[in-house]
Structure 1
Amino acid sequence: MSLPSVRPPSTTQPEDAAPLPAYDGRVPFPRGGTAPEHSGNARLSLTITALIVFLPFLALGLACWLLWGSLIHPADVVLAAVLYTVTGLGVTVGFHRGLTHGSYRPVRPLRIALATAGSMSFQGDVIGWVAIHRRHHAFTDRPGDPHSPYRYGTSVRGQLRGLVDAHVGWLFRNEPTSATRYAPDLVADRDIRAVSRAFPALCVLTLALPFAVGGLIGGTWTSALTALLWAGLVRIALLHHVTWSVNSLCHVIGGRPFRTRRHDRATNLWPLALISFGESWHNLHHADPTSARHGVDRGQLDPSAAVIRLFEHLGWVTDVRWPAPDRIAARRT
């Protein structure tokens, strides 16, 4: 059974939003109000964020050290590739193009499955992820954007600081994004609320699966632990940094063949296309956010769009918003 025809709210600035300070696109973002107090809950949240961010990164260093001693097995590589693909597409096809932008209408089981797969990427609960991304589109590269590399201006020092902030630093600021304001459709969705509540359990599952499968294939504790390392922690670290690179590098480096809103500097960065499942064709995405395909020019690989096309052929999604040639032509610079 298909879901009702409900599109997500607009990602433009809400009418009731407070007026933004004057901004010319070059200076650091104005500081508004006072810095929030770090309550006990905020400190706990920052601690958990630090573990999520840095533990996989430390695992990557450990994995490189272990690789020097050849402690890696074919099963580890296969498991890592499979889980990277499943969880990555859960983010790109499910969280992003589906739930955030309404690029298609999925049947209910697929909607739940994609939300679950995306949650296993360790990138936060589905409702929070969508709310933050819609806020990013509402205020792209201007005050209000949660992760713009232009936060500290366009000087060399400011740009370098901004890149670090857009990549990972923003995760450590106590700047909550209201889910009721930016994702009211998901807050009202019983299925998505259930997936959101299950996020901690899904984080355990995404690590338990490679550990269990690796142990079953290899038959030893060592094989279980190497699978946990490579197909669990290292896979999570890689997907984290690919996703964060779209936030950071894909607003600074690359081409801009399509017009976007004022101050929006989203770019197309081809080296990330395959491992980001097409998300690095970011300039087109910001020019036409609801498009189900981001890589619209010849030779631009977009695996996420291919998966959506497959789902459409299977009858699992309808009302797909494929890019129309006239819309694409109208947005070219």
Structure 2
Amino acid sequence: MTISERPVQSRQDYDGRSPFPGAHEHPAASRTQVGLTGAIVVLPFIALVIAILLAWGRGIAIADLLLAAALYVVTGFGVTVGFHRLLTHGSFTTRPWLRVVLGVAGSMTFQGNVIDWVATHRRHHAFTDRPGDPHSPYRYGTSLRGQLRGLAHAHLGWMFADEPTSTPRYAPDLLADPAMVRLARAFPALCAASLALPFLTGWAISGTLYGGLTGLLWAGLVRVALLQHVTWSVNSLCHVIGSRPYRTRRHDRSTNLWPLALLSFGESWHNGHHSDPTCARHGMGRGQIDPSAGLIRLFERLCWATDVRWPDPERLERRRVDVARKARAPAGD
């Protein structure tokens, strides 16, 4: 669990526009890591093609769609409420059993084990959009070519690089938690369960192996792919496209991107999150749908969650960007 991290090449004089130091010296990951990551990325698309071909002339079974939606919601909340708002940022505390349940659900998304996920995300916040950020779309600068390459890096490319994040440095609390260590070790088994569950459920509902296969395709692999790309879009698109109503740290270009709000369970209100990372609600404005915050509110009412950090109106107002002043500000501020 202790992974050595390459020295972070950071510099105080970074101007917010140039490529990161050493950006083009991208160490390649091991063949095993590249192969596993490639399989996780490619196989769901192959599954989608197969699923469409099988559905041609037959349609898609309602049971498959309902099962896919149910697993998308459960595992999606495992990432947004469990991995992110609870374990990474400590936006609330919860009972030990619920902490484990959310960790299990998040682990079934094929996004990495819980300790590595948390460590990587904390590192992202420590170096947002400047040297040291593991998946910034500004890694290669702000030129058109650099931006396009940076978007590819932020969305997928960073997972193929040999730039590990130190778990002892960024997630010592989880390494000291026996339940989280066991959960991290169980990650491969939980990924297998994430695919076995829709296969067995589809088989049980339909009574046929064909029903199990379509359940595996739609509620297993296609569901995993959709959730992964929504999550990765928060890393990439939500630092390039959208609005920035709140002030963040220097060089931090996190944005609010409303079209992804529902699919991401509120994670795409990314500027709101980066302006106040430990807050349990990311959608700070009126009408900003944040299902993850709604679930945390439910946990609070059931007395399963305590010490919830809800938005402070006065602090929000202080963080709000003065649009006229922003328009006069020099580039990179």
- Contact 1:21-1:30 at 8 Å conserved across structures: no
**Secondary structure in 1 matching 2:292:** helix
Q: 2:221 aligns with which of 233, 239, 243?
A: 233
- 1:29 corresponding residue in structure 2: 20
* In 2: Cα distance, 1:298 partner to 1:68 partner: 43
* In 2: Cα distance, 1:257 partner to 1:320 partner: 23
Structure 1 residue 46: deviation in Å? 1.8
Structure 1 residue 191: deviation in Å? 0.5
User: Given the two structures, how large is their TM-score scaled by the length of structure 2?
Assistant: 0.91
1:290-309, CA deviations, whole angstroms, 9 ceiling, x for partnerless residues?
A: 00000111110000000000
Structure 1 residue 57: deviation in Å? 2.4
- Contact 2:34-2:160 at 8 Å conserved across structures: yes
* In 2: Cα distance, 1:319 partner to 1:17 partner: 34
Structure 1 residue 47: deviation in Å? 1.1
Gaps of 5+ in 2: 1-6, 322-333
When residues 257 and 68 of structure 1 are mapped into structure 2, their CA distance, relative to the original with a 3 A threshold, is same
The letter for the 1-side match of 2:53 is: W
The letter for the 2-side match of 1:272 is: L
Gaps of 5+ in 1: 1-15
* In 1: Cα distance, 2:38 partner to 2:26 partner: 20
1:315 aligns with 2:303: yes
The letter for the 1-side match of 2:299 is: F
The letter for the 2-side match of 1:195 is: L
1:266-294, CA deviations, whole angstroms, 9 ceiling, x for partnerless residues?
A: 00000000000000000010000000000
- 2:197 corresponding residue in structure 1: 209
1:224 aligns with 2:202: no
* In 2: Cα distance, 1:137 partner to 1:19 partner: 14
Structure 1 residue 55: deviation in Å? 1.1
* In 2: Cα distance, 1:23 partner to 1:306 partner: 39
- Contact 1:27-1:152 at 8 Å conserved across structures: yes
Q: 1:251 aligns with which of 235, 239, 245?
A: 239
Q: 1:68 aligns with which of 33, 56, 63?
A: 56
Q: 1:155 aligns with which of 126, 129, 143?
A: 143
1:1-333 matched pairs, under 5 angstroms: 20=11, 22-31=13-22, 36=27, 42-333=30-321
The letter for the 2-side match of 1:211 is: F
Structure 1 residue 63: deviation in Å? 2.5
* In 2: Cα distance, 1:308 partner to 1:18 partner: 37
- Contact 1:60-1:237 at 8 Å conserved across structures: no
The letter for the 1-side match of 2:64 is: D
- Contact 2:28-2:160 at 8 Å conserved across structures: no
The letter for the 1-side match of 2:171 is: A
Q: How much identity, in percent, do the aligned residues show?
A: 66
- Contact 1:141-1:264 at 8 Å conserved across structures: yes
* In 2: Cα distance, 1:267 partner to 1:62 partner: 36
1:229-251, CA deviations, whole angstroms, 9 ceiling, x for partnerless residues?
A: 00000000000000000000000
